[in-house]
Structure 1
């Protein structure tokens, strides 16, 4: 299977937004758009990642949607199971609550909260062992890109998690490439640059696992309706991890439409 034959994913990362009333309104608006302008599930998977407080309420609100929209945890604990770990939410607790997806390794977790490769490995291992699908985030800083280390940095991040992933678990991983310098800045990698990195990621994954050719690789970093069609046209870009634009139902729906209609 080539990268272009993979059903794309469009995932909205709401980050620390919005308030509960805003979340309810956002989901309701998205549901109405999907009813009025359907996007076939076979052409594009869709998901949203609300704050932990809203995971179950958003999931419940999406139950009667005209099509499936998955609910994704923005993070999870490096500790498995249950126990005396104040403030933590484990992979098993997420699974028990009906949450089947989790983001791991987002640059904000790495940079602001100090998630090291060792911590990220524990999170990936716990998530996979609990039966979750991991959306694993990779990306380089502006300094790393300008010094010619972008590919090396991203491929190292892919290799970092290899010890935590059993052979049969790679099919439960979605990779999201987000150049750190493009997150929330309004800047985005050119489609050619993004495609080149995605192709390199697929090459790296394929050297680690036969599943590499079938794995979805999403692009993130100031994705919006205005650039979604060009990004969707790239053969190794299998969807988008959308930040700010996912807080607007119309924008998020248009991005999903772009991938559904282009792939």
Structure 2
């Protein structure tokens, strides 16, 4: 395998003093690890490219023992503003840990790469980042991987949910029921109209817009419960502190 494209560098480590391993995400090949032999000493081939959380154009080839080698790289964006802000760095680190834990299918590589890149670009802007962004990132990532529920109509009768002050989210079914219809089996979460409106807006927006969202305490609490349950059920990941583990 040999290719050349823009990728997102997620992690970098050093071995044998001058050599590096680089974990990156490609929009066409997914999550990969490759070696940059002599990378710490070669400014010509890898100037500024071997830092985590960077957008880089890499030329990648396959070695004799079937491992991937980085031949050269060009830095596209180092996200300097983001890296100078510890609060934002903490947010994006949470997003990346979640991202690395996901089992992507090939048709999900490109939308996943696009969403992570948009999140990095949004947090790199000179304005405060919302602590809500990591949660929104998890929900949007689930939506982008084919798990987006219908947030406007009842799964049973097809009626508009905004006609009711609350609805019932059936986690296993990945759908919502109005209060007049019996929901399916499994876990259920009572959800307000305001929370559904926020999640519907999330499905139609990007990370740059999330920074301005200031939901009420009730909506924040409901979003946390709903998104965590949805991600656990459909993506198989549970949040434990700052880690995401397979459930």
TM-score using structure 2 length: 0.22
Q: With a CA cutoff of 8 Å and minimum separation of 6, indicate the structure with the bigger relative contact order.
A: 1
Select the structure of larger CA radius of gyration.
2
Q: Name whichever structure is richer in helix by fraction.
A: 1
TM-score using structure 1 length: 0.22
